[in-house]
Structure 1
Amino acid sequence: MELKSLIRDIPDFPQQGIMFRDITTLLKNPQGLRYTIDTLTQKCRDRNLLPDYIVGMESRGFVFAPLLAYQLNAGFIPVRKPGKLPAAVHHIEYELEYGTDRLEIHQDALEAGAKVLVVDDLIATGGTAKATAELLAKMGAKILGFAFVIELTGLNGRQMLPNLPIISLMEY
């Protein structure tokens, strides 16, 4: 299946000069969604990326991570923006192109030594994925790798995650 045919391109969103890769058209296609999850699952199994937990980054990582967790018989753990988790959290602040952002995870989300796979819909600059990895490492997690549906290769996000396996289903 040609997944790129299920991705809608929206020019100049969210700002002038940006080509937004809209996954909602993929999500509404039952065969496309099934193919995406089945392919991610098989690639994880082929590379022996068999985690205790799948960590999904807010917000579109929440779409793919629980489905992949189900397929791999793993738990799902959300990493969220500030103020959205009800219990005590660990947090990390990280740099964006214009300012900073913050990610949070429940302090009791996982035990030290737990094997995790980080999942999101897209990797661009790699800043959010790197911050998530740093947050998980501070908690003592063993990061097996990353899985993305889309990789924007021109933004070199992969370079932010050296020495870790990265799965991406399509590149732009």
Structure 2
Amino acid sequence: MKTVKDYIRTIPDFPHKGIMFRDVTTLFSDPRGFRIAVDQLLHPYTGTDIDRVAGLEARGFILGGAIAHQLSQGFVPIRKKGKLPGRTIEQSYSLEYGEATMEVHDDAFQPGERVLLVDDLLATGGTAEAGIKLIERLGAQVVGCAFVIDLPELGGRKRLEALGMDVHALCSFEGA
């Protein structure tokens, strides 16, 4: 029986030499692989009260939308700065070379709502931490962080767990 990891293609030297890019588009394009991923991302949260699903740009939108549909709950996109119309709040975070900013609509979450945060890949955890901070600033609570892939050597899981987050990943790959 194939696992989620079996559906993920590795592309060497993309986007730069020495990087092993983990391509989830092959997972998404396979109906069985996509179904397995969505089901397994949801599994640890069965029976958990979840009011919204938040997805991090961009592949987190694909997963988060499918998970929100399965839960019959709303989906909230957390986007890169400048991509959302209307009033937003923003959270900056550090990258290897520089800084980036994520945004969410200022009315995306209500105080006390319970949110599942979803993305395809957990690397350093900077983007996920920015998403968590945005959700919490609006008074909602993150009940879990679900990822398809964890790159443990980059420390994202430890970073999020240090914030008190429950972190679930379907598979891991060594190296960057």
Structure 2: gaps of 5 or more residues: none
Give, in angstroms, the shift of residue 49 of structure 1. Answer: 3.6
- Poorly superposed stretches of 4+, deviation over 2 Å: none
Structure 1: gaps of 5 or more residues: none
- Counterpart for residue 68 of structure 2: 69
Structure 2 match to 1:25: 26
Q: Which residue of 1 aligns with 2:85?
A: 86
User: Matched residues in 2 for 1:2 and 1:102: separation?
Assistant: 34
Q: Whole-Å Cα distance in 2 between the matches of residues 39 and 92 of structure 1?
A: 29
How much does 1:94 deviate? 1.0
C-alpha distance in 2, partners of 1:130/1:113?
A: 19
In the alignment, does 2:92 pair up with 1:106? no
Shift of 1:160: 1.3
Which residue does 1:11 correspond to in 2?
Answer: 12
Tell me the TM-score normalised to structure 2 length.
0.93
Is contact 2:60–2:119 with CA below 8 Å preserved after alignment? yes
Paired position in structure 2 for 1:40: 41
Q: Is this contact kept in 1: 2:54–2:64, CA < 8 A?
A: yes
SS at match of 1:35: helix
Using the size of structure 1 for normalisation, the TM-score is 0.95
C-alpha deviation, 1:164, in angstroms: 1.4
Identity of paired residues, percent? 45
Is the CA contact (8 Å cut-off) linking 1:13 and 1:19 kept in structure 2?
Answer: yes
Paired AA for residue 3 in structure 1 = V
User: How far apart in 1 are the matches of 2:4 and 2:139?
Assistant: 35
Aligned residues: 170
Distance 2:142 2:29 in 1: 31
Q: Shift of the alpha carbon at 1:137?
A: 1.2
Per the TM alignment, residue 65 of structure 1 is displaced from its structure 2 partner at its CA by: 0.2
- Secondary structure of the corresponding residue to residue 140 of structure 1: coil
Partner SS state of residue 161, structure 1? helix
- Deviation of the 1:86 alpha carbon: 0.9
Aligned to 1:60: 59
Secondary structure of the corresponding residue to residue 4 of structure 1 = helix
Deviation string 1:93-138 (CA, Å, 9 cap, x unpaired) is 1111100000000011111111111000010110100111111111
> Partners in 1 of 2:144 and 2:6 — Cα distance?
27
Aligned partners of 2:109 and 2:135 also within 8 Å: no
User: Aligned partner of 1:28: which letter?
Assistant: S
What's the CA shift for 1:167? 1.0
CA–CA separation in structure 2 for the residues paired with 1:66 and 1:129: 17
2:116 and 2:142 in contact (8 A); partners too: yes
